[in-house]
Structure 1
Amino acid sequence: MDFNEAAVFVKVVQAGSFSAAARQLQLPTSTVSTRVARLEQRLGITLLQRTTRRLSLTEAGQAYFEHASLGLGYMLEAEAAIDAARQAPQGKLRVSAPADLGDSLLAGLVNQVQLQYPALALELLLTERYVDLVAEGIDAAIRTGELGDSSLIAKPLGNACWATFASQEYLEQAPPLRNPQDLNQHHCLQFSPMGRDAWTLRRGNDSITIPLSGHTIANSIGIVRHMALNGQGVALLPTYICKPGMIIGELQRVLPAWQARHDPVHLVYPRQRFMPPKLRAFLDVAQAVMQPWFNDAPAAPD
């Protein structure tokens, strides 16, 4: 089998004539005609009807063209994939993430991408709405919670654990906080998506719901965290956005045996036959940078 014959035949059909195919392939027209004739002779069937004005496919020619062009396309894609693998990651990469994911985490991710791949331009789209990656031209997304779109490839990053935090300044002047019921004596800083009327905390198989006064409610996780840092009360926050504050001693986790929601976190991207080098590079960096932020396990029962 001579794959050159099949490739020339496909090009003749796509170009519409022997001469046009010859120009595109940079071959003599006689060579193009000879290769198609050899293909027909080897197959023992006429593929093209030749007239002085135009070419037309026979029924057998149409069937052969459909299969041959598909196979040729796969071969070209395979070669393109090899060529792409040799190239350094470059170009623009668009990434979607929740708006409340955390400035420190995302800034660190961008910094590492820029350090390792200076030719890669990263654009972050921070939003709370669901983003259709293919329709909106997004290369990858960071998503928290259960995944619903099975058409996407998902790489797990860990879990986002929500727990109670307060500053040392606040705890020094506030009533003791030894169990969840004690929250009734404290100023609770409420992030509205986590509950406007109550917080539900869990410890292993146990759970308790604590009614809230609704005295301070905000729909910005960043504002709630800043209020906690300012000593204004106890906040229910994801542990990953509190880690910088905990490291320098500004925030303390209170009621450490108890937690609220526990959400899986994933990197997702559209399914595709060959992954661009820029996307592969980003996924590798993102996993290395982000997994340490989401290493919290569910609280074990006593």
Structure 2
Amino acid sequence: MNWNDLQVFLEIYESKTLRAAAKKLNVDQATIARRLNDLEEKLNTKLFIRSRNGVTPTSHALDLIPHLNTIQQETIDIERKLNQLQQEVIGTVKISTTDSLAIEFITPLIHRLQVKYPKLCIELTTTVETLDLNKAEVDISIRTFRAKEQDLIVKKLAEWEVGLYASKEYINKFGQPNDRLHHRHIVMYQQGILPYQNDRLVGEVVDHSNIITQVNSSLILMHMINSGSAIGELCSYFAKKNNLQRIWPNKKREQNYEVWLAMHKDSYKTKIVRIVINEIVKIFEKL
């Protein structure tokens, strides 16, 4: 016996005629009659007395009705719960990015996601290291260079020009640099942080004796420039956000500042990962 047989039985009982039950279940009357006969044979008992006016349940049928109604309601409740689980966004999505991108874009996103999806958790890692998407160390990676590993889906989110910037306080204190980097207040990334790093700023050779700080954090580099402690390369987006002054507007770094999103193709099949990715893309589309 299966649930479909029991549904036929309940529908015949509620509809009072085979024709009405067939119409309700969207099948022909002969099919309903055959399925009722099959059910009665399986149970080895008569369930309905047929007549010209319809069907009348036997005492055996009446004994079954309360139990079947309970089963039917429980089945409906289970189906509703399963539908809710499919619609709900529950789970953890792991995101890796730089500290400056995390503060500017991801932490505001987390707040909006929490409002829309209260059962979604974001595990946010800020690091200069590239976590392995193929080994599921992270679900979504947002970096300033394009990932080249196999089996990844990548998308460029943004691209900005990179120039040399200083704060107004720095210019007031140390003056505007001439056409050479003679200032002894330069901040740069440590070697190996950027894949395209060299000993130049916006194409100009840097005297290492003029470097006061080498950092491995984009947030610290930006803070050093913004606080008036040093001059350094910065993308136009963050420079404009901090009201920094561009030095030598006609000079720029050869490589633009790019923001790339990457995920493993299997991760993209997961509903909650797709939801987070779509929200991230929306943020950058509005810029």
TM-score after normalising by structure 2: 0.59
Residues 184, 212 of structure 2: 8 Å contact kept? no
Residues 189, 102 of structure 1: alpha-carbon distance in 2 compared, 3 angstrom cutoff: farther
Q: Which has the larger radius of gyration?
A: 2
1:137-286 matches, cutoff 5 A: 137-177=137-177, 181-185=179-183, 187-192=185-190, 193=193, 198-201=199-202, 207-219=203-215, 220-246=217-243, 251-260=244-253, 261-272=255-266, 275-286=269-280
**Distance change >3 Å, CA 269–CA 102, structure 1 → 2:** closer
- Alpha carbons of structure 1 residues 108 and 244: separation in structure 2 relative to 1, 3 Å: farther
Deviation at 1:274, TM superposition (A): 6.9
**How many matched pairs?**
203
Distance change (3 Å), C-alpha of 1:254 and 1:111: farther
For residues 207-250 of structure 1, what are the alpha-carbon distances to aligned partners after superposition, in whole Å with 9 as ceiling and x for unaligned? 5434342441222332232222221221222344444322xxxx
Which runs of structure 2 are paired with 1:1-302 in the superposition (5 Å)? 87-177=87-177, 181-185=179-183, 187-192=185-190, 193=193, 198-201=199-202, 207-219=203-215, 220-246=217-243, 251-260=244-253, 261-272=255-266, 275-291=269-285
Q: Secondary structure at the match of 1:184?
A: coil
Structure 2: distance between partners of 1:289 and 1:130: 23
The Cα shift of 1:263 comes to 4.0
Retained in 1: the 8 A contact 2:267–2:273?
no
Amino acid at match of 1:191: Y
* Structure 1 unmatched ranges of 5 or more: 1-30, 32-82, 202-206, 294-302
Unaligned runs of 5+ in 2: 1-41, 43-82
| SS of structure 2 residue aligned to 1:258 | coil
CA deviation after TM superposition for structure 1 residue 167, in Å: 1.0
Asked whether the equivalents of residues 84 and 277 of structure 1 are also in contact (C-alpha less than 8 Å), the reply is: no
AA at the equivalent of 1:224: L
Displacement after TM superposition at 1:142 (Å)? 1.0
- The residue identity in structure 1 corresponding to 2:250 is A
Q: Per-residue deviation at 1:271?
A: 1.1
How big is the shift at 1:137?
Answer: 4.5
Percent identical residues: 22
Q: Rate the CA distance shift 1:216–1:238 in 2: closer, same or farther, 3 A.
A: same
Provide the aligned C-alpha RMSD in A.
3.3
Kindly indicate whether the alpha-carbon contact (under 8 Å) linking 1:104 and 1:241 is maintained by their aligned counterparts in 2: no
Mapped partners of 2:286, 2:110: distance in 1: 16
The TM-score, its normalising length taken from structure 1, stands at 0.57
**What is the CA–CA distance in structure 1 between the aligned matches of 2:238 and 2:267, rounded to whole Å?**
35
Residues 134 and 273 from structure 1, CA distance in 2 versus in 1: closer, same or farther, beyond 3 angstroms?
closer
Aligned partner of 1:275: which letter? Answer: K
Distance 1:197 1:277 in 2: 41
1:102 deviates by 4.8
For 2:272 and 2:175, the matched residues in 1 are separated by 53
Question: Is 1:133–1:140's contact at 8 Å kept on the other side of the alignment?
Answer: yes
Which region of structure 1 is more displaced relative to structure 2, 100-109 or 90-99? Answer: 100-109
Query: Is contact 2:185–2:210 with CA below 8 Å preserved after alignment?
Result: no
Moved over 6 A (4+): 194-197
